[in-house]
Amino acid sequence: MEWLRSALLPPQGSAFAGEIDFVYMFILWLSIVLFVGIVGAELYFVWRYRYVPGRPTPHQTHNTKLEIIWSVLPLLLCVGLFFWGIDGYMKFAVAPGDAMEVQVTAKKWLWQFEYPDGTRTVNEVHLPADKPVHFVMTSEDVLHDFYVPDMRVKRDVIPNRYSEIWFTPTALGEHVSTCAEYCGKGHSDMHAKVFVETKEKYEEWMATGGDEWMKHTPEEWGKIQYEQKGCATCHSLDGAKSKGPSWKGIWGKMEKLQGGKTVLVDEAYVRESMLQPQAKVVEGFEPVMPTFQGLLRENEIRGLVAFIKSLK
Amino acid sequence: MEHTLTPGAVLGDRPRPEKNYLNETTGIWSWMTTIDHKRIGIMYLCGVSTAFLIGGVFALLVRLALLNPQHTLFGRVWVTAETYNRFFTLHGVVMVFLFIIPSIPASLANFVLPMMLGAKDVAFPRLNLASFYLWVGGAIFGITAMVLGGVDTGWTFYTPYSTTTDGSVGLMVMAAFILGFSSIFTGLNFIATVHKLRAPGMGWFDMPLFVWGIYATALIQILATPVLAITLVLLLLERTYKIGIFDPAYGGDPVLFQHFFWFYSHPAVYIMIVPGMAIISELIPTFSRKTIFGYRAIAYSSVSLALLSFIVWGHHMFVAGESDLANVVFSALTFLVAIPSGVKVFNWLSTMYKGNISFETPMLYALSFLFLFAIGGLTGIFFSTLAVDIHLTDTYFVVAHFHYVMMGSTVIAFFGGIHYWWPKMTGRMYSEKWGAIACALIFVGFNMTFGSQFIMGGQGMPRRYFNYLDKFQPIHAFSTYGSWVLAVGLFMMAINLLVSLKTGKRAPDNPWGGTTMEWESSSPPVFHNFEHQPVLEHEPYDYRHRTVTHV
Amino acid sequence: MEQQADTTKIGMWLFLVTEVLTFGGLFAGFGLMQSRYPQEFIEAHEHLQRPLGALNTVVLLVSSFTMVMAVLAARTNQSKKTVRYLIMTIACAFIFLGVKYFEYSHKFEEGLLPGSFYHTQATDTVKIINAAGQVVPSHGYATFFSFYFMMTGLHGIHILAGIGLLTWIAIRANRGEFSSAYYTPVDLVGLFWHLVDLIWIYLFPLYYLIS
């Protein structure tokens, strides 16, 4: 029956797709049996009892036994299906604790994904195979709906609310997510690509943060990191003193350090300040900066260096 | 196969009265001010048919836009996403509010329900006319909204999209609001009529099943529509004055709107389907020449469907952010709907068993109904099963499912009813041959159009999509071709009926050998329906008392 | 005649059912919003004038009583008395509207208005930060007054309709059209009036006595 399943349903991309498809196929066969029964009886009666002039018909008003049977049997069937349906539903009602959490923001008409480490992507999401993933979703404008047919998951994305979805992707390759709640002009173009990758490939992608950085000049990329990674909280761009030295005109300067030494602000020093900020603290500032070791990728560090360099 | 009289029918042997409700008074003014339920029924029939035409044109445009993924016609792009969104919204709004809700109750039932009870008119004839004019008023608002920029919210008016988008949403919401009152008036009238105007000797269980169905429908109209009215008012206020109830930007809750909306609109689905079932309960015994099987079970199932309809609205929102508990409860309640629906189907089949079945056009529609309703009903099981619903909801599977129920069942039953009572309403017989051909085309075209959509939906094609993946192209094209076959069938049916007005043979009083009271009047009936107050002599559908005269 | 009176009475009851459901929708909406903004609703309701609300409750209860007396008088062929009681009922309705006018104008002055018109200096404690980064009162206050004006406004419209109907039957009663054999219109308007009163009986604690 695999041919029928694959004709009627999309490929199975998640751990519970098989289970849901099994229920689907069961109901399908049940329906086919009932349908053939009903329409078969209809056609048979139409042929067998076709009109003959003057033939009298029996006066059968009811048959209590029969009527009880055909009320109770479907009821039992429905009760069975109900529990089966709940069973399947409840399995993916609550995400397991070790699931990777991805924040999803929907707006007209794109999907934005944010990973635990702050990496952001638009209209594409990369997932490691066989590891549960938990999407926490909200909308910035109207209702949307995150639907990945291959994963058999779907949930409305609502402004001012968080809705959740989780699944364990199993099938490697590219899958499509679509918006399933009408949201206007771009509704039917609001797709995101869901890449399910091997652990190695996924980690490689994570290490480079995707290819978004290649679309920008290093200076632009650095500015994006400055805004997204929280540098702006302590380092101003206009010379104003904050918790940390301003970046304006800092490049190439000789900075006086705590303890009296001086240091040239060059690539080596800037890089060191990001990864080991306590090593050389500029005079007049508290040693409060956290380390960004592991939080900044190589391309991001290079971008930040280029950005600082550009601030004359 | 051209005959004017069903074999076995009772020929009206009295002379045709000179004056009937059509020629008692003349002139357009006499129609516009009439309080005769028959004339109001006819005016409603004209009105809802026009609405069906408009909604149908939008449907064809929707299908045409989806013919290919490039949206080209003769090599040129002819439609944009904005236009497409207006097409399907207007198709939905017109079909739901202007056509299908008033279709059977306000036109056919308005005409035959008082006659089935042996009454001269409905309980409140003036209210009946007021209801018609409210419908006209709603239609004017709706058409104005279409002309002034259209509406692109979908017929469901989901917030916050509907409170923020451009277009004539306000006018369209006003239209739906007014139409709601038209519907309430009709329902109120029927309930009072059934309670108070039954013929002498007619108890509750002597009423034709059509009356039971319409009574159940009227209950829903009365109980559900006010909630729609207030919801639409809130929506309008939200849109204009930002009152902060549905729009999250002002502290509102968009899911609350869905609860309100479906609290009406799910029962509304039964306002649509129960009258359709009610017609089938008339057609099958008449053309099987056999008493209905399980009269009380069918009557009770209509009422229980009406009551169940109020407690299952949440199944429209399984993925919309309801709590898991609510989902489970609504799933369980939804399964219950299967029982009364199944009971009806089994009773109709048992009625045919050992009958004496002939195939006039109304019966062909009834047989089509059984086929299509079986599909529509069984595919409902997929949606009540929670786990499967998650995958299928908001896809073409749901589009196909509700079209099988709404169009394949209700509208097909409506057509059957029109053909069944046409001789009574107009005093003319239509061509059986063309009636049968039209029915066959509609049946085939319908299954082509919507049967194919089950496959797309299961494959993950979301609804309300303008652009689609190339892999769906062949099925979309097939569905569009189906819509053309369907359209040809519908036009053929309309032409056949209209032509009969001019050239049709004169109809006898009881062309099909029906056993219910409306057939005791002349065709067309006199102004007060009956020359003498009819008295109930036997139960409905009792064929033991029929003298079978074959002409 | 008997038959017709029964029929119209069924019609009236059905109409009242639709009225109850219409208000029921608003009550449900109010309840849900109250559970969303409990603190705001309690604070907002302090701005309503409880004594005036209580006064109006008494006024409507009195009008219900005079309405009952009017129906009774019509049934016992006392046209004069019917008219007198109807006029008293109408007077109560006007008193109600008068009080409501004072309440409304007070709200208007304070800027306690529905939805986007809400602009008050009143010190509300629950604050949120809006999109522009300003600290403003929570939406809950405006929502409370949206519901307050919608529900009391809709009720007020019903009072106005009631005044119209009462005047109409008072004129007919004055012409001596009603008797123990035919007083259906008085009866039906009475039913309507009782419903309008009843809705207020629910509105009063809902808005004025939140705890």
Please name the chains neighbouring C, where neighbouring means 3+ C-beta pairs under 8 angstroms: B
Q: Closest Cα of chain C to B250: distance in Å? A: 6
Q: Does B329 touch chain A (CB under 8 A)?
A: no
- pLDDT value of residue B5: 47
Q: What percent of chain B has pLDDT above 90?
A: 80
Residue contact B382–A24, C-beta within 8 A = yes
Structural domains of chain B sorted by starting position, each given as residue range(s) with its CATH number in brackets: 28-112+130-197+205-241+254-545 (1.20.210.10)
User: Best interface-test mutation with B: which of C7, C8, C14 has the largest number of B CBs within 10 A?
Assistant: C14
Region class of A209: left (phi > 0), else alpha (psi between -120 and 50), else beta: left
pLDDT tens digits, residue range B300-329? 999 999 999 999 999 999 998 888 889 999
Closest by Cβ to A57, choosing from B332, B356, B465: B356
A2-91 and A215-310 share one CATH topology?
Answer: no
pLDDT tens digits, residue range A21-46? 999 999 999 999 999 999 999 999 99
- pLDDT value of residue B188: 95
Residue contact C29–B245, C-beta within 8 A = yes
Beta bridge partners of A103: A114, A136
Cβ neighbours of A93 in B, within 8 Å: 324
Q: Which residue has the tokens 């357009």?
A: B28
Q: Closest Cα of chain C to B49: distance in Å? A: 28
Q: Does B244 touch chain A (CB under 8 A)?
A: no
CATH number of A215-310: 1.10.760.10
Cβ neighbours of B296 in A, within 8 Å: 62
Least confident of A232-246, B52-66, B189-203, B224-238: A232-246
Residue contact B223–C17, C-beta within 8 A = yes
pLDDT tens digits, residue range B377-430? 999 999 999 989 999 999 999 999 999 999 999 999 999 999 999 999 999 999
**Could you tell me how many CB contacts below 8 A there are between chain B and chain C?**
102
The nearest alpha carbon in chain B to A39 belongs to: B371
Residue contact B387–A181, C-beta within 8 A = no
- pLDDT value of residue B2: 36
Cβ neighbours of B325 in A, within 8 Å: none
The nearest alpha carbon in chain C to B231 belongs to: C25
The nearest alpha carbon in chain B to A108 belongs to: B161
Cβ neighbours of C15 in B, within 8 Å: 188
Are the C-beta atoms of B307 and B356 separated by less than 8 Å? no
Residue contact C139–B251, C-beta within 8 A = yes
pLDDT at A9 over 90: yes
SS (H, E, C) B351-370: HHCCCCECCCHHHHHHHHHH
The nearest alpha carbon in chain B to C37 belongs to: B251
- pLDDT value of residue A260: 82
Cβ neighbours of B184 in C, within 8 Å: 18
Q: Does B165 touch chain A (CB under 8 A)?
A: yes
In this prediction, residue C123 has a pLDDT band, given cuts at 50, 70 and 90, of: low
Q: Does A152 touch chain B (CB under 8 A)?
A: yes
What is the rounded average pLDDT for all residues in chain C? 89
What are the angstrom distances between the C-alpha of A184 and each of B178, B253, B457?
A: 26, 19, 20
- pLDDT value of residue B29: 93
Count the Cβ atoms, other than its own, within 10 Å of residue A237. Answer: 15
In this prediction, residue B24 has a pLDDT band, given cuts at 50, 70 and 90, of: confident
The token duo for B257 is 């709107």
Are the C-beta atoms of B381 and B392 separated by less than 8 Å? no
Q: Does B255 touch chain C (CB under 8 A)?
A: no
- pLDDT value of residue C15: 93
CATH number of A2-91: 1.10.287.90
What is the rounded average pLDDT for all residues in chain B? 92
Residue contact A71–B388, C-beta within 8 A = no
**In 3D, which of B528, B416, B404, B509 has the Cα closest to residue B108?**
B416
C and B interact (at least 3 Cβ pairs within 8 A): yes
pLDDT at B183 over 80: yes
Secondary element (H or E) of residue A147: strand A144-148
pLDDT tens digits, residue range C2-57? 677 788 999 999 999 999 999 999 999 999 888 888 888 888 888 888 899 999 99
Cβ neighbours of C5 in B, within 8 Å: none
The nearest alpha carbon in chain B to C139 belongs to: B251
Q: Does B11 touch chain A (CB under 8 A)?
A: no
pLDDT tens digits, residue range B227-282? 999 999 999 999 988 888 898 888 888 999 999 999 999 999 999 999 999 999 99
Q: Does B495 touch chain C (CB under 8 A)?
A: no
Q: Which amino acid makes up residue B229?
A: A
Q: Give this prediction's pTM.
A: 0.89
SS (H, E, C) chain C: CHHHHHHHHHHHHHHHHHHHHHHHHHHHHHHHHHHHCHHHHHHHHCCCCHHHHHHHHHHHHHHHHHHHHHHHHHHCCCHHHHHHHHHHHHHHHHHHHHHHHHHHHHHHHHCCCCHHHCCCCCCCCCEEECCCCCEEECHHHHHHHHHHHHHHHHHHHHHHHHHHHHHHHHHHHHCCCCCCCCCHHHHHHHHHHHHHHHHHHHHHHHHHCCC
Residue contact B85–A160, C-beta within 8 A = no
Q: How far apart are CA A145 and CA A158, in angstroms?
A: 8
Using omega within 30 degrees of 0 as the cis cutoff, is the peptide bond preceding B525 cis?
A: no
Residue contact A54–B548, C-beta within 8 A = yes
Least confident of A286-300, B69-83, B193-207, B501-515: A286-300
- pLDDT value of residue B432: 95
Residue contact A84–B550, C-beta within 8 A = no
Q: How far apart are CA A153 and CA A194, in angstroms?
A: 13
**In 3D, which of B24, B543, B6 has the Cα closest to residue B291?**
B543
In this prediction, residue B1 has a pLDDT band, given cuts at 50, 70 and 90, of: very low
Count the Cβ atoms, other than its own, within 10 Å of residue B452. Answer: 22
Residue contact A141–B355, C-beta within 8 A = no
Contacts of A226 (CB under 8 A, 6+ apart): A232, A235, A237, A304, A307
Residues 89-148 of chain A whose Cβ lies under 8 A from any Cβ of chain B: 89-90, 93, 141-143, 145, 147
Q: How far apart are CA C14 and CA C30, in angstroms?
A: 24
pLDDT tens digits, residue range A236-279? 888 887 788 889 888 888 888 888 888 889 888 998 888 888 88
Whether the complex's predicted ipTM surpasses the cut of 0.90: yes
Are the C-beta atoms of B270 and B263 separated by less than 8 Å? no
Q: Does B220 touch chain C (CB under 8 A)?
A: no
B and A interact (at least 3 Cβ pairs within 8 A): yes
Are the C-beta atoms of B513 and B108 separated by less than 8 Å? no
> What phi and psi values does residue A264 have, to the nearest 5 degrees?
-85, 130
Of the ranges A86-90, C117-121, C148-152, the best mean pLDDT one: C148-152
Fold of the C2-117+136-208 domain? Four Helix Bundle (Hemerythrin (Met), subunit A) (1.20.120)
User: Best interface-test mutation with A: which of B295, B357, B359 has the largest number of A CBs within 10 A?
Assistant: B357
Domain boundary assignment for chain A: 2-91, 100-208, 215-310
User: Best interface-test mutation with A: which of B291, B343, B378 has the largest number of A CBs within 10 A?
Assistant: B378
pLDDT at B549 over 60: no
Average pLDDT over residues A48-71: 90
- Per-position DSSP letters for B125-149, written without gaps between them: HHHHHHHHHHHHHHHHHHHHHHHTT
Please name the chains neighbouring B, where neighbouring means 3+ C-beta pairs under 8 angstroms: A, C
Using omega within 30 degrees of 0 as the cis cutoff, is the peptide bond preceding C51 cis?
A: no
What is the rounded average pLDDT for all residues in chain A? 89
Domain boundary assignment for chain C: 2-117+136-208
The nearest alpha carbon in chain C to B261 belongs to: C25
- pLDDT value of residue B536: 83
Closest by Cβ to C143, choosing from B124, B229, B244: B244
Q: Does B471 touch chain A (CB under 8 A)?
A: no
Cβ neighbours of C14 in B, within 8 Å: 187-188, 191-192, 222
Cβ neighbours of B467 in A, within 8 Å: 188-189
Q: Are strands A173-179 and B76-77 parallel, antiparallel or unpaired?
A: unpaired
- pLDDT value of residue A204: 84
Q: Does B127 touch chain C (CB under 8 A)?
A: yes
Q: How far apart are CA B235 and CA B57, in angstroms?
A: 28
The reply to whether CATH 2.60.40.420 applies to domain A100-208 is yes
pLDDT tens digits, residue range C128-170? 776 666 777 788 888 888 899 999 999 999 999 999 999 999 9
Average pLDDT over residues B165-187: 94
Closest by Cβ to A188, choosing from B343, B357, B465: B465
